[in-house]
Chains A and B, each alone.
Chain A
Amino acid sequence: MTASSLESGSRGAGNKVGTRNVLAKIWQQDGPGYMFLLPWLIGFFGLTVGPMVTSLYLSFTDFDLLTDPNWVGASNYVRMFTADPKFAAAMRVTFFFVIFSVPLKLAFALLVAMLLNRGLRGLPLYRAIFYLPSLLGTSVAIAILWRQLFAGDGLVNQFLANFGIDGPSWISNPRYSLWTLIVLSVWQFGSPMIIFLAGLRQIPQDMYEAASLDGASKFRQFYKITLPLLTPVVFFNAIVQTIEAFKSFTPAFVISGGTGAPINSTLFYTLYLYQEAFGFFRMGYASALAWFLLAMIAAFTAFSFLTSKYWVHYDD
């Protein structure tokens, strides 16, 4: 209502003057809109685009916070791939985390969504409860809780002790520490679960009815009906969760005290980036790391979109 009166108002003004060029006309039409967007635009350019462009520049310098940056060409990027064992370690840890946490989390989320989709009473309540861990999300409090759960004398080992199992100190043993973080990530299955649930409800019931009349088993129904019709949702969830997993920071930071310990086994890419930037003040190198992370995520997302036509099934 406001928009249309506004539009006609500016058009009227444009006609009156008559001899304006195209740009001015566009301004006449859209100018007020941009003015309304201005507070957001200032934030977007000042707080997002500006710093990003600056960091691209800094990634070609040796900026160390205290002295002025010097141009060093591509040497930060060269060092990353040729002379930085910690970078390699961080890449290994991050890819391991992404490769295991994302499928496990999606599978778990789908499982819970299917359980909830069986016409339960009080569904909203269950949905809310299962979503809760995701709300608490990657908070510091949860990471501390995890530390307590998986420490040597933590709850997990006290439980295992009932079965005569003497569990290791999960979080401080390099063999298991990353797995505790993967379990933490899987536990936060709420947001893909909600999306799966919505997707499941879109699948017409008559398909299942027809399938069971034809004698298809539950498993076959899942495999032939649910999964294909759900692929767009799986696709969406996979991309979102993978990006999240690449960016994961807080749990590793809290559980390892910011060190990536023990023996760099929880040295997530972002944690390494943080160490370089704020631990050792190598802002130039850290900027280069950040841009490579962006490139990695972009490449992965592009790859997913390119391959999607082979496995994502759209109804229409």
Chain B
Amino acid sequence: MTLRLNRRRFLMGSSALMAAGAVGLRPVLAQDGRIRLLFWGGQDRADRTYGVSDLFESQTGAAVDGEFLGWGDYWTKLGTQTAGGNAPDVMQMDYRYIVEYATRGAIAPLDEFVGEVLELADFDADQIEGGRVNDQLYGISLGANSVAMLNNLSAFEQVGIDPPDRNTTYADWREMGEAFNSSDIGMKALSDGSGVEPMLDNWLRQQGLMLYTADGELGFGEDEAVEWFRMWQELREADIIVSAEQQALDTGGGLEATMVVQKLSASMPSNSNQLVAYQSLMEDDLSISSYPRIEPGSGGGHYRKPSMFFSVAGSSSAKETAARFVNFFVNDVEAAEILGVERGIPCAEHVREALAPQLDEKSRIALEFVANLDDLLGPLPPPPPPAAGEIDSSLLRTISQEIAFGARSPEDGGRAFVEGARDILSRASS
């Protein structure tokens, strides 16, 4: 009898303990002035980021627990944590998602910290503007970058032609592709860009159009979509670009599967800040150039994009420490030396000046590319609507493949794309 009572008590007690443990978990994690940081990227970015957070801890005593994931998994984890009321204090944020997170209160406006713990006096105006949603500052840009063609210079040298430059047009690419085909290099000049959203965007902007308007509507029509797919179909039929099967190997999982790294094409659309990361994967000499012009003299397709932001969670209990960390990240020269231009060109002028003389060759190429876009540069487009990601991943890429594999004609594909995109946009806004 006594024994049984004891056993029951023990069971009751232990289950109560378990329940208490489950409830008490979060406060235990959140205490003692540590802040949590979540970002997407690879090992190189992680090493640099942790270097800065260690430095921050040694100077301020505030520890930063960092965690990083690939782009795809990142948004899953961030979304889940945010929904669970357990968002990281500081998170890396993309232009694509900032409006969604800001309007839902998942990230906090930082205006109250500006001039206090957050110093933005010599910060690029367009980069501050890029972090604003409804006139409040929700994201601090970690660097400016721009879309760029990634070119394998060694391959161009082997074929014996000049690599592309800022004046190269789509027609020039076709000629270069023919030169590649008549050589024995066994590589195409160009990857298949028909499913690459920024490339379509750039092509539209050169015609004075845009992917999405400020009201979140589609900024172009069926005619443009058909013309876009037809242009690529012609390049495909002329054997200038990689085959559909080859392009489909690149599922967006990582740099390793891309056409240039696989040595299936000499060039492909990419971003200026990624030159450093790609070069670390390849022996061949790489460089970047602007996206092709649609005709000589046309410009305005590029823009200086905030490559990514740091935002502070709306639910964070340590917003000031978090803002202090963000400030350290973008303003401290010692931190900048660790970070380099891996996240894009630093936005604070004093950081840029301190950093420029110390950069290695590839980093300097990236910096100069973004600084000298001139007539290629157009205005910053409005933030894309929330459904843009879905239109990109489940519509543009699929239709581009359907055309490449011959399951649709460019005309049919263009129509289906515009119709599908409007459908997704209206569903998202309803």
Within 8 A of A (CB), among B73-89: 75-76, 79-80, 82-83
Q: Which residue of B lies closest to A62 (CB)?
A: B430
Do B8 and A32 touch across chains, with their CB atoms under 8 A apart?
Answer: yes
Do B11 and A257 touch across chains, with their CB atoms under 8 A apart?
Answer: no
Verify if B317 is at the interface (C-beta below 8 Å from A).
no
Do A65 and B80 touch across chains, with their CB atoms under 8 A apart?
Answer: yes
How far, in Å, is B94 (CB) from chain A's closest CB? 14
Verify if A258 is at the interface (C-beta below 8 Å from B).
yes
Verify if A14 is at the interface (C-beta below 8 Å from B).
no
Q: How far is the CA of A223 from the CA of B4 in the complex (A)?
A: 60
Do B76 and A263 touch across chains, with their CB atoms under 8 A apart?
Answer: no
Do A42 and B249 touch across chains, with their CB atoms under 8 A apart?
Answer: no
Verify if A22 is at the interface (C-beta below 8 Å from B).
no
Q: Is the interface of B mostly helix, strand, loop or mixed?
A: helix
Within 8 A of A (CB), among B379-430: 389-390, 393-394, 397-398, 401-402, 405, 407
How far, in Å, is B360 (CB) from chain A's closest CB? 31
Write the A13-45 contact mask toward B (1 if CB under 8 angstroms, else 0).
100000000000000000010011011001000
Query: Known: A32-B4, A38-B15, A263-B407. Contact between A169 and B248, CB under 8 A?
Result: yes
Verify if B335 is at the interface (C-beta below 8 Å from A).
no
Do B79 and A261 touch across chains, with their CB atoms under 8 A apart?
Answer: no
Interface size class of A (residues with CB under 8 A): 35 or more
Q: How far is the CA of A256 from the CA of B251 in the complex (A)?
A: 6
Residues of A within 8 A of B398 (CB): 261, 263-264
Verify if A71 is at the interface (C-beta below 8 Å from B).
no
Do A172 and B394 touch across chains, with their CB atoms under 8 A apart?
Answer: no
Verify if B208 is at the interface (C-beta below 8 Å from A).
no
Verify if A259 is at the interface (C-beta below 8 Å from B).
yes
Q: Which residue of A lies closest to B400 (CB)?
A: A263
Do B15 and A32 touch across chains, with their CB atoms under 8 A apart?
Answer: no
Do B401 and A261 touch across chains, with their CB atoms under 8 A apart?
Answer: yes
Verify if A162 is at the interface (C-beta below 8 Å from B).
no
Write the A162-178 contact mask toward B (1 if CB under 8 angstroms, else 0).
00000011011110000
How far, in Å, is A69 (CB) from chain B's closest CB? 11
Q: How far is the CA of A173 from the CA of B405 in the complex (A)?
A: 8
How far, in Å, is B59 (CB) from chain A's closest CB? 34
Do A278 and B405 touch across chains, with their CB atoms under 8 A apart?
Answer: no
Verify if A232 is at the interface (C-beta below 8 Å from B).
no
Q: How far is the CA of A10 from the CA of B8 in the complex (A)?
A: 13
Residues of A within 8 A of B82 (CB): 65-66
Verify if A54 is at the interface (C-beta below 8 Å from B).
no
Verify if B253 is at the interface (C-beta below 8 Å from A).
yes
Do A35 and B4 touch across chains, with their CB atoms under 8 A apart?
Answer: no
How far, in Å, is A10 (CB) from chain B's closest CB? 8
27 contacts between A and B (CB under 8 A): A9-B4, A32-B7, A38-B15, A66-B79, A66-B82, A66-B100, A66-B101, A66-B106, A152-B246, A169-B245, A169-B249, A172-B248, A173-B405, A174-B401, A174-B405, A257-B251, A257-B252, A261-B401, A262-B405, A263-B401, A263-B402, A263-B405, A278-B80, A279-B72, A279-B75, A279-B76, A281-B79
The 6 closest A-B pairs by CB, nearest first: A257-B251, A172-B248, A278-B76, A65-B83, A169-B245, A257-B253
